[in-house]
Amino acid sequence: MKAYILLTLATIFYAGNLIVGKPVAQEIPPITLSFFRYVIAALVILPIGYREWRNNQDLWKKEWKAILALSVTGLVLFNIFVYLALNYTTSINAGIVEGSTPIFTLILTFLLFGEKFSKKQMVGGLYLVIRCVFCHYKRIVRCNNESAI
C-alpha cells in the first residue's frame, strides 16, 4: 500500500510541474527555472539521501559518467525543453505528450539495445499512440479547417 501512495504522490508532483510551470515559464527563462527547481529539490532531498550516498560512494565513483549523463538528459535538458514548450502550448497538451514517454522508451530500447518487447508492451504502446492521436484529433481538425479558409 505504501508503494501505491508514494507512486500516486510522485505522479501528482510530476503533473504539478506542468501546471505550475506554465505561468512561471512565461516569467522566468527555462534554464533559470530549471536551475532553481533543482537547487530547491537538492535542499529537500539532501538530508534524506545523504546517508545513502555516503554508503554507496564506491558505486558513485564507478558509475559517475552514467549518472552524469542521465542527470543532464533526464533532469536538466528534459525540464528545460518542457518549460520552453509550455510557452507555446497548454499544460494539458504537454501532459498528453509526456504521457507518450513509454512508447519512446520501448522504441529506443529496441533501437539502442535490441530489446524485444512483449505482446503486452506492444498493446500498451499502441494504446498510447491511439490515445495521443485521439486527444489531438479535434485540435488537428480545427487547425486544418482554419487554414483551409
| Residue 124, domain extent | 99-149
The C-alpha angle with vertex 14 and arms to 9 and 20, in degrees rounded to 5, equals: 115
Instruction: Check whether residue 6 and residue 47 sit in a common domain.
Output: yes
Taking residues 121-145, what's their average pLDDT? 74
CA distance 103 to 125: 5
Residues 19-73: tens digit of each pLDDT: 888 999 889 999 999 999 889 988 988 988 888 888 999 999 999 999 999 989 9
The pLDDT of residue 56: 92
5 with 74, same domain: the answer is: yes
Which residue type occupies 12? I
Residues 12 and 85 in one domain: yes
26 in the same domain as 71: yes
Task: Tally the domains of the chain.
Answer: 2
5 with 78, same domain: the answer is yes
Asked whether residue 86 falls in the same domain as residue 103, the answer is no
